[in-house]
Amino acid sequence: MNINKYIDHTLLAATAQSEEIQKLCFEAKKFGFYAVCVNSSRVKVAKNELVETDVKIAATIGFPLGACFTEAKIAEAVKSVQDGADEIDMVINIGFLKDGKSAEVQREILYIKKAIENCVLKVIIETCYLSEKEIMKACELAMQAGADFIKTSTGFGSRGASYDDIKIMKKVVGEEIKIKASGGIKDAETAMKYINLGVHRIGTSSGIKIIS
C-alpha cells in the first residue's frame, strides 16, 4: 500500500510564511503525497510550486471556526479555485448544526459545491464538539448536499480525529462519500488503523514521519 497517496500534507498555522509553503510543496513532490492543504491566501504560492505535477492543492474555507457568512465562504471558495485549488476543505457552521438549523447547514454545503463545480468538496464537521447524533446528522447533510468527503477536524479544536468518530461516520456514509481523518495523526501505525477503518484521506503535518 502506498500510504503517501492517502496524505494531504498540511500547513495551516497562522504564522506560516511563503518559504514554509514552498518547502511544504517541495516535500509533497519529493515524497509523492496526494495533496497539500493550505489556507486560501496561500493557494497561489502552492500553485506556483506545483505546476505540472500530480500533487493536488486543497484550500481551507471558513477556517477554522466555520462561523462566518455563507456568502463569505462562497467567495473564498471561488477565489481559491481561481487561484489554482483542486479541492476545498470547508468548515460547517457548527453552531447552526447544534441549533438544529439543518436546512441552513445543508444549503451552505450545497451552495459551495455548486460554486466550485467539479472541484472536490470536503466538509469539516469538527467532531470534537459534536455528540454521536450530531456527527450522524452532519454526515447525512453533507451527503444530501453533494459533498465528496466528510472530514473529522480542523486540527484547531479541542482534539483531532478519533477511531470512534470514523466508525460513526462510516456507519452513516458507507461508500456514498469518502472520509478524511485529520488532527493528531502522527505515526504510521495510527494512519494505517484509520485507513483500515475506511478512511480515504489523512490530513497531517507529520506525513514525512508517517511514511518514514
Domain extent at residue 109? 3-211
pLDDT of residue 1: 79
The pLDDT score that the predictor gives to residue 201 is: 98
Give the helix ranges, DSSP H, for the chain.
18-31, 43-50, 70-83, 94-99, 102-116, 132-144, 163-173, 188-196, 207-211
Distances (CA, A) of 211 to 9, 38, 118, 163, 188: 12, 20, 30, 20, 7
Catalytic residue annotation: 89, 151, 180
The CATH number covering residue 89 comes to 3.20.20.70
Number of structural domains found in the chain: 1
Question: Residue 8: what pLDDT?
Answer: 98
Q: Dump pLDDT digits (tens) for 170-198.
A: 999 999 999 999 999 999 999 999 999 99
Positions of the chain with pLDDT lower than 50, given as ranges? none
What is the grid cell recorded at 89? 476543505
Nearest CA among 109, 142, 147 for reference residue 127: 142
Residue 4 has a pLDDT of 97
